[in-house]
Structure 1
């Protein structure tokens, strides 16, 4: 392996770099990885708070740019902090951004009002349908931006339903896939339009 500070080659089991004294222990690596994860989450949460503030104030600080840096961890943490309110705002923003990025494909991702109302009427079944349609729409529009997604609506639906039996992680995996694919589509849209 190589020392991240000075770049000298050192044996794998070395705890300190013989050239510069940098700590190369496993504990240091774990600490660095944890710090990076917390910094990324803090960045995502700050971005989400700014987006919510701008939305409530009726302003936009991104100049028409679609949000392409959403993250699963910030989604979970903000949903917990706001007692679930952020999750609805998240659905609203994803539907809005996907409708902009995929405009002209003959489809429309229903917004928050339809999502809430139809989910209540169908005892939550519409929620699965909404995620399924969103996954399919993202997969269908990926070639438009020169990409391909392995995951589609069926993958999302399977994780939503059957993944729940895997210690309840299925819905989080499904949401991660949707966030990842939405970020890629929005990023490609922003690049295409010079935003």
Structure 2
């Protein structure tokens, strides 16, 4: 079971903790997407955080690309009329240190949670 998260709270926590909460948020988004996909073999949030730290953030860009695509496909499966934000999220990640792309992805996940609970 997953719960909707307040985007404002997550952004503020990321700012006030100098980005440390962003790793917790990345973990949460990854696990939420795995739950929504109903895919037990999907990558784990802990592994994504570890690889992002080990590669000094480079893996994070790949993760944003792949997760944005996965969320877009999930939205299509649930019949949402959405646009593919993958390129936008990558560009924003370069200039905003993952916070804005995470907010965009969390917004989509919150909408998907609403769709699955109705």
Q: Tell me which interval the TM-score lies in, with the shorter structure as reference length.
A: 0.7 to 0.9
* Higher RCO (C-alpha under 8 Å, 6+ residues apart): 2
2:14 to 79, 90, 98: 79
- Aligned partner of 1:110 in structure 2 is 44
Measured in 2, the distance between the counterparts of 1:149 and 1:177 equals 12
Structure 2 unaligned residues grouped into runs of 5+? none
Is the 1:149–1:181 Cα contact (8 Å) retained in structure 2?
no
Q: Paired residues, what number?
A: 118
Q: Spell out the pairing of 1:51-130 with structure 2 (5 A cutoff).
A: 64=1, 66-71=2-7, 73-104=8-39, 108-112=42-46, 114-130=47-63
What is aligned with 1:156?
89
Do residues 180 (structure 1) and 103 (structure 2) align? Answer: no
Which residue is 1:32 aligned to? Answer: none
8 A contact 1:98–1:109 mirrored in 2: no
TM-score normalised according to structure 2 size: 0.80
- The CA RMSD measured in Å over matched residues stands at 2.4
Structure 1: where are the runs of 5+ without partners?
A: 1-63
Any runs of at least 4 consecutive aligned residues in structure 1 with deviations exceeding 3 A, and if so which?
80-85, 169-173
The CA deviation at 1:83 is 4.9
In 2, Cα distance between equivalents of 1:152 and 1:109: 21
Q: TM-score, normalised by structure 1?
A: 0.52
More helix per residue: 2
Structure whose CA Rg is larger: 1
177 and 80 in structure 1: CA distance in 2 versus 1, 3 angstrom threshold: closer
